[in-house]
């Protein structure tokens, strides 16, 4: 087990957004957190990395390496993010500013985590090549990249320090189905290479069926059902889970067969 979330609650004043959620993620596991917009998925993921806004409060425990990260001071959390827990967001454009090259972004990121200057160039090259971008992309600005290239660069940035846990929050929502499949296949390859765990936040059951090992379904801030992919896809118990599956675009028969293996 690499991450244990225990009775996590996120609130805004008296409003409960995430309600005593508990789940565990194993090393190297692809864990899908599924639910409709407003179910609390993103708030949960942001609480894990202490990324909640100032008016939001998190309680409970998020255990990583025996420590509750919710209790970490800002400085310690800044070191943990990127090195242990890293994010890929839906708005991957937000990972970059138009005034810095991709290399400058990555240099700054590595410097923040005290990586020696002599190592940085090689690490950046390897990170870009791992997502199918050659070293020349390091000298480009974000506005000089296509959407797909920029998404790949954001993945390279997130995996630069080979984190233990990668949180992908609706990372393919803005992409067409072909591009989304390419990005997720790439993530799968990188996951197998680095051994990182992935917390995959989505509402798209096609991706859940194809890539996940375990699934948790979230509704109104609570986990209503969780288990292996085989169980939840083929033997869902909760009416809401059944409703989500039935409402999903038709799942290709080949993908359904893969989920049984």
Please say which residue of 137, 162, 187 terminates a domain: 162
DSSP bridge pairs for 60: none
* 137 and 198 co-located in one domain: no
* 172 and 124 co-located in one domain: no
Residue 8 is predicted with a pLDDT of 98
Q: Is residue 179 very low, low, confident or very high in pLDDT (cuts 50, 70, 90)?
A: confident
* 128 and 250 co-located in one domain: no
pLDDT tens figures, 211-220: 999 999 999 9
Taking the C-alpha atoms of residue 168 and residue 253, their distance in angstroms, rounded to an integer, is 26
Taking the C-alpha atoms of residue 253 and residue 261, their distance in angstroms, rounded to an integer, is 13
Q: Is residue 92 part of a domain?
A: no
Say whether pLDDT at 182 is over 90: no
* 150 and 185 co-located in one domain: no
* 188 and 133 co-located in one domain: no
Q: Is residue 119 part of a domain?
A: yes
Structural domain including 132 reads 100-162
* 60 and 172 co-located in one domain: yes
* 177 and 222 co-located in one domain: yes
* 169 and 47 co-located in one domain: yes
Our measurement of the distance from residue 216's CA atom to the centroid of its chain's CA atoms, rounded to an integer in Å, reads 14
What is the sign of the dihedral through the CA atoms of 122, 124, 125 and 129?
Answer: positive
pLDDT tens figures, 7-49: 999 999 999 999 999 999 999 999 999 998 899 999 999 999 9
* Tokens, residue 115: 């990586």
pTM for the model stands at 0.89
Taking residue 65's Cβ as centre, other Cβ atoms within 10 Å add up to 10
Q: Is residue 224 part of a domain?
A: yes
What's the whole-number mean pLDDT along residues 147-155? 87
Q: Is residue 107 part of a domain?
A: yes
Q: Is residue 168 part of a domain?
A: yes
Least confidently predicted of 13-22, 95-104, 125-134, 173-182: 173-182
Give the number of domains in the chain: 2
Q: Is residue 174 very low, low, confident or very high in pLDDT (cuts 50, 70, 90)?
A: low
For the chain, the C-alpha Rg in angstroms (whole number) is 18
* 113 and 239 co-located in one domain: no
Residue 254 is predicted with a pLDDT of 43
Q: Is residue 253 very low, low, confident or very high in pLDDT (cuts 50, 70, 90)?
A: very low
pLDDT tens figures, 47-88: 999 999 999 999 999 999 889 999 999 989 988 998 899 999
Q: Is residue 89 part of a domain?
A: no
* 151 and 191 co-located in one domain: no
Higher per-residue confidence, 197 vs 204: 197
pLDDT cut 90: percent of the chain above it:
56
Q: Is residue 203 very low, low, confident or very high in pLDDT (cuts 50, 70, 90)?
A: confident
* 69 and 168 co-located in one domain: yes
* 123 and 155 co-located in one domain: yes
**What are the backbone angles phi and psi of residue 22, rounded to the nearest 5°?**
-130, 135
């Amino acid at each position: 087990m690499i991450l244990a979330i225990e009775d996590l609650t996120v609130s805004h004043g008296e409003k409960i957004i995430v309600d005593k959620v508990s789940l565990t993620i194993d090393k190297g596991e692809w864990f899908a957190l599924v639910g409709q917009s407003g179910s609390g998925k993103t708030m949960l993921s942001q609480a894990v990395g202490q990324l909640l806004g100032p008016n939001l409060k998190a309680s409970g425990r998020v255990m990583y390496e025996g420590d509750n990260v919710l209790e970490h001071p800002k400085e310690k959390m800044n070191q943990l993010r990127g090195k242990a827990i890293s994010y890929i967001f839906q708005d991957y454009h937000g990972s970059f500013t138009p005034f810095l090259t991709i290399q400058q972004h990555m240099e700054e990121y590595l410097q923040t985590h005290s990586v020696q200057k002599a190592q940085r160039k090689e690490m950046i090259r390897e990170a870009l090549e791992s997502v199918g971008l050659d070293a020349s992309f390091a000298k480009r600005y974000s506005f000089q990249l296509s959407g797909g290239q920029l998404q790949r660069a954001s993945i390279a940035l997130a995996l630069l320090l080979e984190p233990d846990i990668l949180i992908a929050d609706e990372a393919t929502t803005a992409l067409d189905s072909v591009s989304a499949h390419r990005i997720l296949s790439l993530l799968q390859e990188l996951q197998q290479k680095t051994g990182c765990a992935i917390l995959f936040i989505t509402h798209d059951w096609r991706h859940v069926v194809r890539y996940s090992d375990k699934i948790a379904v979230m509704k109104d801030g609570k986990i209503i059902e969780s288990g292996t992919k085989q169980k939840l896809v083929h033997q869902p118990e909760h009416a809401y889970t059944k409703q989500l599956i039935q409402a999903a675009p038709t799942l290709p028969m080949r993908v359904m067969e893969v989920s049984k293996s």
